[in-house]
Amino acid sequence: MWNPLLDALPATMFRYSSDYAEFAAESLRRSWHIGSRYAERALTTAARAALTPGGGEELLSRFLTGCASYMMEMASVPCTALERTAERIERRAGIAESSHEICDVGGKPLMLPVRFAEASQGWAVFAVDAAKAQKALGTLPPYGEIFEVLQFSGQALLVIYAVDFRRTDLGAYREVGVEVWVRPKANPSAFPGTAIIRMSVDGKFSVKGAHAAWNFIKLLAPRMQPTYRDESVTFPVDHDDPNTLAITLPRFGRFRSTGLPIRYYTVKPKERAAWCIVFRRNAEHEGVQFGGDVAVRLGDGKGANCFCALEGGGGREQCLCAALRDMGLPKAPLANGWAGNMTGHVEAPYTVTRGDVSAHPSDHPLGNTSR
């Protein structure tokens, strides 16, 4: 008796066996690349120490730091290779789009991938009630319908992050945002990523460029000057208004990472389709710790410069600070991290799920989402 499933089995096994082979090959390539790079650095450090009087102590310090960085990067190899394999499968199943694309931003061309040549980044992750996190995600239509938060015993992972972009294709600007880990409802097997509930920047071109390239919704907050201290930094939504969200993060770390993929999800314009964007990130002077000394300040929902008061911020009835307070913040984070020098690029989006073309532009908080 003919069985269509058995008939299709050889082709299916071949298709996915090639994915497994690519995963193994990517792991080997990345391991070789990391190993050769650290070997070159070790030889260079040893040569300099040999030519420097009393250089043995410096050699030992750099050797130990290099070993720790090497182990951290090697530990990331399976994750990086898995993400690339997942992306390969998703592009094959979805509607693949070019990795290079030119967007028009106010009459100016912007080529993807967008490059970040110099930046500093900090973040803190919190465990919060999953249902409340899903509700907060739903204040950004139609994200709540398209994505579901990842749950671990009823808890979700919520991240507050801050970036000081100094040299990028979008200019110099600061960014503060709140995001949650999600996956597309229509494709729950897709690799997890983050969906940004709210983010503000102080650069107009960044607002327009991110919307044109990836359909990110950035709220313009022109007074976001961070305050740097020896061991910490505070990023506010408005440095002149204490009644706004702000996060204070420790500055620490001696390690480095290379080519780590960070996956973001947005919604494709005019469709109810999940769009995937991958940020490939390098970092130096990086550190990660559990339960660090992080301070979060929340507004009372009545300030003139809160997220909810900014144009496109959802209004008072969708106050993010109130939602975070309902989730138990401020509180100690699960973990936090800092990267003193971050570089990388953000690639063009590709479709992970097929959309519903009946979606109306009015579903979007900024109205028309066409490019």
Q: What is the pLDDT of residue 254?
A: 86
CA 94 from chain centre, in angstroms, equals 22
- Tell me the whole-structure pTM to 2 decimals: 0.75
Q: Report in angstroms the alpha-carbon separations of 193 from 83, 87, 103, 273.
A: 10, 12, 24, 15
Q: What is the pLDDT of residue 359?
A: 36
Domain positions in the chain are 4-75, 100-363
Q: Report in angstroms the alpha-carbon separations of 74 from 28, 37, 190.
A: 11, 12, 24
- Average of pLDDT values for 226-253? 96
Distance CA 64, CA 68 (A): 6
Neighbours of 117 (CB within 10 A): 13
Q: Quick one: tokens of 360? A: 């109306």
Residue 54 backbone phi and psi in degrees, to 5: 70, 25
Closest by CA position to 127, among listed 95, 105, 88, 159: 159
Q: What is the pLDDT of residue 189?
A: 75
Angle formed at CA 195 by CA 85 and CA 279, multiple of 5 degrees: 50
Q: 100-363: which CATH topology?
A: Acetoacetate decarboxylase-like (2.40.400)
Query: What tens digit of pLDDT does each residue of 29-71 get?
Result: 655 554 555 455 555 555 555 555 555 555 555 545 555 555 5
**Confidence band, pLDDT 50/70/90 cuts, at residue 239:** very high
